[in-house]
Structure 1
Amino acid sequence: MLAERYPEARLAAALIPRDRWHPYPTASQRGAWEALPDPVRAQNIRLGEALLNHTWPALPATLFLEYVRIGNRRNYERQHFARRGALGNLVVAECLEGKGRFLDDIVNGIWAICEESYWGVPAHVRMQRAGVGLPDTAEPTVDLFAAETGALLAWCSYLLGPQLDSISPLINQRIQREVQQRILTPCLERDDFWWMGFGQRRVNNWNPWVNSNWLTCTLLLEADPARRLAAVAKILRSLDKFIDPYPRDGGCDEGPSYWGRAGASLFDCLELLHSATDGEIHVYDEPLIQEIGRFIYRVQIADDYYINFADAPALVYPDGALIYRYGQRIGDPEMMALGAWRAAREWAAFSQLREPKEHVPTSMGRRLPALFLAEELQEQERSGRAYPPLPRDVWLPEIQVMVARDQARSPAGLFVAAKGGHNEESHNHNDVGNAIVYVEGRPVIVDAGVETYTAKTFSAERYTIWTMQSAYHTLPTIDGVMQAPGRDFAARDVHYSVDEAQASLHLDIAGAYPPEAKLERWARTVTLHRGREVVIQDGYRLTAPAGEITLSLVTPCQVEQPSPGVLHLTPAPLPEGRMAGAAQVHYGADDFQVELETIPIHDERLGGIWGDHLTRVILRAVNPPQEATWALRVRPL
């Protein structure tokens, strides 16, 4: 899509020289900063004031080594991200105020970051030839957060170059040298970083995320026109490795939280390219680019709840201004409406100086356009053009995800989402055939999501983690045999249908299980009968008798059994004042015995969503026949 359309000769003619490219006002251009709305200025300056005389968190070698020693990556990441978040807040405050009050703390932050041996995080240091452990300073490797750091420092130099020079010319010189050595040179000279896509490994969100930051560093800091052109051309070739195989339905198989660094980071790249070529690079009329954007509003359930297949939490907080800008570019008013709605919620939290939900700081390349869009976004809200679109029906045929609700643009009533796909999706869980159900916008039958990442999460032990296993999704287990990971373990015979009265997904999930499950067929149909019920119907045939078959449901609700064949899922309190939903589950009383398993939650990430436990409902088949048809019916309580 990019490299062939914009070959190097065309790119050379279109690319604005570095000294003439001014994507945003610098701190010296006072009028633009002082014209921002007073509340926006005041709140951002207040964030900077909280960091005056800031003590920068330490990043000792032993903290870095916790990943390889005990599998903990979060302790180092907290300190790492705290440094970058503080620097970003100080830079924005200085740009807004323009009095030099924050400069010394900014210089301290820049200097501290430049003195780090590695700008990435411990979990990613395995990219170096020395492997995990401490970083080898002789081999700079570029991961997500090395690239993020390079871009942050590039923006510091762009926004505050003369102000930093007034303290010492060595500051900008050091930024230039460090970014050149750690980002620009290795990215330009090496082709073996897997995220580039030039090898055999499939790329994921790393590709556009790293490329967006490498592109930022290149456009802002690369002084050699030939190297600048070569880098941009290489970035286009790399981005094609992400775009070309992307599902044509725009579906992000990594889940909506990763859309923020997959499709949304692609948008970051396209915006930088559009700006740096004065609009010459423009692909927003391409259907695929449009569909990639629309994914985010198609998978919203209600409020901050989003479909969370793969490594996604049930609560997602996508960047409102970014969604709005993407919607503007593709001419989609629904996407713009979601963006404005999200921006209003972000501002409500920001105005109270509440901590952001995500621990990774917002990229400066996203923060700057959000600041200069603040007034426009507020006008969208005042004029009633800020709302979640909540489409009634969505079918993404390539990633095989169905979304259905009782009525569009409303969380009222029943909501169901179900998936097919395969078990080698990016950030895969073994969950082919999984379904989740919400009632009145509240969770009833859920996908637990993913715990805080550790060394085990992306290792050979991944599927020993309970959240990754099919037995902890809305799926069957046969004689203890669960679904298996791998591209060959996939749904087959997939069909979707929809009309005014219902929406239905039919698929055979037998292929997602290994031969030991003895499955000839497990035909599952998930149907929303609008205004009435969700039906999960299973018809199976085994190649040999089974001693045990179970169906699992995971719920945040309290579970009661008022009579055989009926379960009541009743509201239970969740963190931050949220409540679980209410539903009744009808099953064949003669077919199943019910067991309840409490799943204690000790993990910070899961606990922030579900509290201290979830409940697994195990429906154990009575004398399971070799062939049968069952149905679960979920109705509002």
Structure 2
Amino acid sequence: MSLLKEAWPASRLVNALAGGVQNSARQRLRSNWTQRLRATVDEPAYAELWKDIERICNDVREAPRLELPLSLFQQFANTGERKPYEDVYFERRGRLVAIVLAAVADPEHRKMREVESGLLDICTEYTWALPAHVNEEDTVTPPWQQVDLFASETAQMLVEILLLLGERLADHVVVQVHKEVERRVLEPVFWQPHHFEWETAEHNWSAVCASGCGIAALLLAKDDFSRAVAIERMLGALDCFLAGYREDGGCPEGVGYWVYGFGYFIYFADMLREFTEGAVDILNSEKVRQIAAFAERVHLSDGIFANYSDSSETERLPSGLISHVNFLQGRPSTLPFRVPGLLEDPCRRWAHVLRNLVWTNPLVYGCGEAVIDYLPQLGWLMCRSLCSSHHGSGGQQDNPGAALAFSAKAGHNNEPHNHNDLGHFILHGGGENLLCDLGAGLYTKAYFSPGRESIINISSSGHSVPIINGVTQQSGAKARAVVLDIAMDEQEGAQTVTSFKLDLTSAYAVDELVVFTRSFAWSVPEGNEGARLTVTDHFEFETSGMNVKPWEVEELLISRIQPHTGVGFVEWKGTNAVVRLDYDAGVLRQRLEAVKHIDHDGVAFVFYKTSLQLDSNRWNGSASIDCNLFFTIHQSSC
């Protein structure tokens, strides 16, 4: 589909971009950005962000200059490690972001010299692409013209800095920045175009790269026709990005990559609207409105998310992006209001930080209600309730209690940033995922190479799903969760029940497995004093003759919390809520394993894998069996 590209061909764009709108748009943006940036310095909501900026500026003056030698670049090819090079690469950009913003807030001469030095440092880098994204076998495109996510981001950052600082920069610095953006990005993408794989990708790459390259072309192209041709090409890439979303607006890569891909889509759309005086608006569609609602739909409580795939449960969403999206949608955000610090983003992204400062609006943030969200094409279910807490003198006062939530996942095992996690679920209480998803692991060459299923973050052995006959879930689109039934908020006596039933048979390459279904029943009693989740796994195996082989089933439950265990129960106690599992100890044998691991940022942590082994002697000659897990969740003081 090429809806945006068809609607706005270059022949039409050139008219929208003509008429002297370029200069007025530049002046308007520079004035608005500068005025808003300076106003935030004394606003309490931005205090942590400005502290980060000040801290980094001090590092620029006191710490040694950060070098990116070729030997560090080559480390990825030699060892598969990404982090050593990327740490320096992103910190260089973080330093530039900080000194630019400080120079806008307080335009003293010394700060401008620091900005110019930082700009020239970026201009001398071997390539703006990360080593992990450079194709060394490409004999046509040299590394410095291989345009990836971060080359695109770098180009956008540099041209927006030129826009913001205007004539305050020395002429030779401006000329050098123009030259390098032209040579490294505009030339290979537009003027002597190569085809880059991201141009047809149906995930975050197409949006981020199209945004960065498109904004660079908007601001640096020499004439309206060249600008229009470049934008038309990037609209084709954005069509592919939107095609990766279905009608429910769900992002299979998770909320972190929603921020990345859709965030940059929004940034480009806004810039295009500014530079056409509102004539080109690519946000006005029902599909974009559905995508815009995704973060709210997967939010469980207190800034904690259902985080399937390579996302974190504690994503710090850019307040500028959330403010802008909700303003455009004309609705309040249910997310907690907080302006993220610069140091909270390991990639130190200019685009997010700038717009956090100039777009954030606390007035678009409101209060959320306990609701159910189901994304039918994506196959994610989120159920929320608010635990009642009866405290106060004589039990007279009714105080709102902890938010409780349950989420489960269908989908298939060939999704972008895929984890083999069909039927996996999360239990959340009081701002904490008590039964959790581990999220992304440390990105290395192996993480994106054949055999990646052996990594615990990706393998189904790192998710709350069973192992059958010693076999974990298989990768590929053929491994698919079929939704057999869903019923939401049905009244059953004195409780409301949401049920979700999946056929997971194809997820396991076990010849003898005939049927495997997993059923969830989430029930909230009248009065909301906690909630219950019943998980029923139904297995049917093929039989030969009169004998039934004792098949092996091992149920897994994943948590960062060390559980308390006893005969027939497991209990995970969080800060504000408790989950208790009750099971038939005559049928299931429990084992607990503490697993040492490292997270996406390379920080060591321990998670706990509770295993419930189905006793093979309990089959009683039957080829089918049900495994029942009964969870209760309540506020710690309920």
C-alpha distance in 1, partners of 2:32/2:585?
74
- Counterparts of residues 567-586 of structure 1 (less than 5 Å): 567-571=570-574, 579=575, 581-586=577-582
| 1:171 pairs with one of 167, 170, 173 | 173
Name the SS for the 1:612 alignment partner: strand
CA contact (8 A) 1:415 1:441 kept: no
Name the SS for the 1:367 alignment partner: helix
What residue in structure 1 maps to residue 54 of structure 2? 46
| 1:88 pairs with one of 94, 97, 104 | 97
| 1:398 pairs with one of 369, 377, 387 | 377
C-alpha distance in 2, partners of 1:83/1:27?
27
CA contact (8 A) 1:414 1:533 kept: no
Name the SS for the 2:109 alignment partner: coil
What residue in structure 1 maps to residue 393 of structure 2? none
- Counterparts of residues 564-603 of structure 1 (less than 5 Å): 565-571=568-574, 579=575, 581-603=577-599
| 1:465 pairs with one of 452, 455, 458 | 455
What residue in structure 2 maps to residue 208 of structure 1? 207
> Does 1:106 find its partner at 2:115?
yes
Displacement of 1:277? 1.4
> Does 1:502 find its partner at 2:497?
yes
Unaligned runs of 5+ in 2: 389-399, 491-495, 525-529, 544-548
| 2:65 pairs with one of 56, 67, 74 | 56
Aligned-residue RMSD, C-alpha:
2.6
> Does 1:281 find its partner at 2:267?
no
Name the SS for the 1:618 alignment partner: strand
What residue in structure 1 maps to residue 465 of structure 2? 475
Name the SS for the 1:161 alignment partner: helix
C-alpha distance in 2, partners of 1:111/1:478?
57
**Structure 1, 258-267 or 18-27: larger mean CA deviation:** 18-27
Return the letter of the residue paired with 1:218: A
Displacement of 1:297? 1.1
Return the letter of the residue paired with 2:323: Y
Query: 1:614/1:368 Cα in 2 relative to 1: closer, same or farther (>3 Å)?
Result: closer
Q: Deviations over 1:532-577 (max 9, x none)?
A: 31111111211244542101001222223333x2222234xxxxxx
Unaligned runs of 5+ in 1: 572-578
What residue in structure 1 maps to residue 343 of structure 2? 356
> Does 1:629 find its partner at 2:626?
yes
| 1:558 pairs with one of 559, 562, 566 | 562
Displacement of 1:363? 2.4
CA contact (8 A) 1:45 1:93 kept: yes
Name the SS for the 2:104 alignment partner: helix
Query: 1:29/1:266 Cα in 2 relative to 1: closer, same or farther (>3 Å)?
Result: closer
| 2:150 pairs with one of 127, 130, 145 | 145
Query: 1:510/1:390 Cα in 2 relative to 1: closer, same or farther (>3 Å)?
Result: farther
Displacement of 1:283? 4.0
Q: Deviations over 1:32-85 (max 9, x none)?
A: 655555345975873564233664311111111111212110111110011111
| 1:370 pairs with one of 356, 369, 378 | 356
**Structure 1, 457-466 or 407-416: larger mean CA deviation:** 407-416
Displacement of 1:100? 2.1
C-alpha distance in 1, partners of 2:227/2:293?
32
Return the letter of the residue paired with 1:125: V
| 2:125 pairs with one of 91, 96, 116 | 116
| 2:413 pairs with one of 403, 416, 423 | 423
> Does 1:441 find its partner at 2:436?
no
C-alpha distance in 2, partners of 1:398/1:532?
27
The structure whose residues are more often strand, as a share, is 2
**Structure 1, 99-108 or 612-621: larger mean CA deviation:** 99-108
C-alpha distance in 2, partners of 1:159/1:263?
24
Displacement of 1:262? 1.9
C-alpha distance in 2, partners of 1:272/1:497?
43
Name the SS for the 1:3 alignment partner: helix
What residue in structure 2 maps to residue 574 of structure 1? none
Query: 1:191/1:388 Cα in 2 relative to 1: closer, same or farther (>3 Å)?
Result: farther
CA contact (8 A) 1:471 1:482 kept: yes
Q: Which runs of 4+ in 1 moved over 6 A?
A: 27-30, 408-411
What residue in structure 2 maps to residue 548 of structure 1? 552
Query: 1:393/1:106 Cα in 2 relative to 1: closer, same or farther (>3 Å)?
Result: same
Displacement of 1:430? 0.4
Q: Deviations over 1:275-305 (max 9, x none)?
A: 1211112244411111101100111122232
Displacement of 1:146? 0.7
Name the SS for the 2:281 alignment partner: coil
CA contact (8 A) 1:506 1:526 kept: yes
- Counterparts of residues 192-203 of structure 1 (less than 5 Å): 192-197=195-200, 202-203=201-202
Q: Deviations over 1:153-202 (max 9, x none)?
A: 1122222231212xxx22111111110111111111435211100xxxx4
TM-score by length of 1: 0.87
Return the letter of the residue paired with 2:612: L
C-alpha distance in 1, partners of 2:260/2:198?
13
C-alpha distance in 2, partners of 1:79/1:9?
43
- Counterparts of residues 295-374 of structure 1 (less than 5 Å): 295-333=294-332, 335=333, 337-338=334-335, 341-342=336-337, 344-346=338-340, 350=341, 356-364=343-351, 366-373=352-359
Query: 1:451/1:592 Cα in 2 relative to 1: closer, same or farther (>3 Å)?
Result: same
Displacement of 1:320? 1.1
Query: 1:140/1:49 Cα in 2 relative to 1: closer, same or farther (>3 Å)?
Result: closer
Q: Deviations over 1:298-353 (max 9, x none)?
A: 111222321111111222111011111011112222x3x53xx33x353xxx4xxx
C-alpha distance in 2, partners of 1:314/1:72?
25
Return the letter of the residue paired with 2:301: A
What residue in structure 1 maps to residue 184 of structure 2? 182
> Does 1:237 find its partner at 2:233?
no
Displacement of 1:261? 0.9
